[in-house]
Amino acid sequence: MIDLSTKLGSLELQNPVLLASGVWDFPYTKIIDFKRLGGVICKGVSPFPKEGNPPPRITETHCGLINSIGLENKGFDYFECEILPELKKLGTKIFVNIFGESIEEFKEIASKIKEVAGVEVNISCPNVSKGGEKFGKDPKMVFSITKAVCGETDLPVIVKLSPSVENIEETAQAAKEGGAMAVTASNTFPGLVIDLESKRPLFKRITGGLSGPAIKPLALYNVYRIKNAVDIPIIGSGGISDYKDVLEYFIAGASAVQLGSIIFNNPLAPIEILDNLICWLGEKGYKNLKDVNKK
């Protein structure tokens, strides 16, 4: 038996493969066996309903996609009554991704989340006018929000960092000082698409967030930078498409990873990755994932 378990700060995960926020919903349980996953992060929830951005909300780029969803969600009350109970039945670790337009909103929502594996604080969405990336680019704000959230909950807090900064070490450090148990590195990269018909940006909000294999070397580098500067567990996110990518992230310093847009390309990717990780470790003679990083 090959052991894929990994430690993420205080948490033990049965394997490092999590589903990222904003890419899956319950119908995916028909395709993927959620019990095999290390955990899942649910779509961002805000205190009040958000209707999201006007369509189009998604487009393709070479080896990636750009989205401008704008955090559409039905608000926390709906989430608590209708979604959370269902999430708890999935048989995997649940992380609740939260979003607020002010420190107060983050506090309000953080105080209400109970009985899940952890909270992921989204201060890095590039597709909203208030909060999001704007918070995530300012280390002081990252510190304040993290501290505020940690003050409201006993759950492990993960801060999802923005890649739109010059020094991601600084925002990672701010999250750590604010009390974060881990950071996710990193969210989508702001990118532009011009529609040649209208000769204007395709998205109403001009930019969208680039994700998918295209960004992998950039996001992987973010993990490496943080690993070498800040002593905090890291969840890698960005462009993972196969088990080799997971290993690269693991070696670069991540303790777990999130799969995002790859599930649009291949909904079975999470399961194939787990199977292939086991094969690879077996071939190399490793018994545990942890051994990969032993010298």
Ligand X SMILES: Cc1cc2nc3c(=O)[nH]c(=O)nc-3n(C[C@H](O)[C@H](O)[C@H](O)COP(=O)(O)O)c2cc1C
Residues identified as active-site: 125
Length of the chain: 295
Provide the 10 A C-beta neighbour count for residue 207. 19
62 binds a second copy (CB under 8 A): yes
Q: Which is nearer to another protein, 129 or 266 (CB)?
A: 266
214 binds a second copy (CB under 8 A): yes
Cα distances (angstroms) measured from residue 291 to each of 1, 128, 295? 14, 41, 8
Give the per-residue contact string, 229-248, with another protein (x = CB under 8 A; - = no).
------------x-------
> Which among 125, 24, 134, 142 has a CA at the least distance from the CA of 83?
24
Q: Strand 11-13 vs strand 6-8: parallel, antiparallel, or unpaired?
A: antiparallel
Alpha carbon distance 47, 77 (integer Å): 8
Among 2, 10, 54, 86, binds another protein (CB under 8 A): 54
Query: Which residues contact residue 84 at a Cβ distance below 8 angstroms, ignoring those fewer than 6 apart?
Result: 96, 116
Provide the 10 A C-beta neighbour count for residue 15. 22
Q: Which is nearer to ligand X, 63 or 279 (CB)?
A: 63
Cα distances (angstroms) measured from residue 26 to each of 42, 58, 70, 196, 233? 10, 20, 20, 36, 28
Dihedral angle computed from the Cα positions of residues 138, 17, 53 and 110, in that order, rounded to the nearest 10 degrees? -60
268 binds another protein (CB under 8 A): yes
Q: Which is nearer to a second copy, 43 or 137 (CB)?
A: 137
- Using CB distances below 5 to 8 A depending on partner kind, what does residue 220 bind out of another protein, a second copy, ligand X, none? a second copy
DSSP tag of 202: S
Range in contact with another protein (rule: CB under 8 A) among 132-140, 162-170, 264-272, 277-285: 264-272
Give the per-residue contact string, 87-106, with ligand X (x = CB under 6 A; - = no).
----------x---------
Residue with tokens 């680019």: 137
- Interface positions with a second copy (CB under 8 A): 61-64, 66, 137, 164-166, 189-194, 196, 199-201, 206-208, 210, 212-218, 220-221, 224, 239, 241, 244, 247-248, 251-252, 292-293
- Interface positions with another protein (CB under 8 A): 22-28, 30-31, 43, 51-52, 54-65, 67, 69, 72, 212-213, 241, 261, 263-268
- Interface positions with ligand X (CB under 6 A): 20-23, 43-44, 67, 69, 71, 97, 122, 125, 160, 187-188, 211-212, 215, 237-240, 258-262
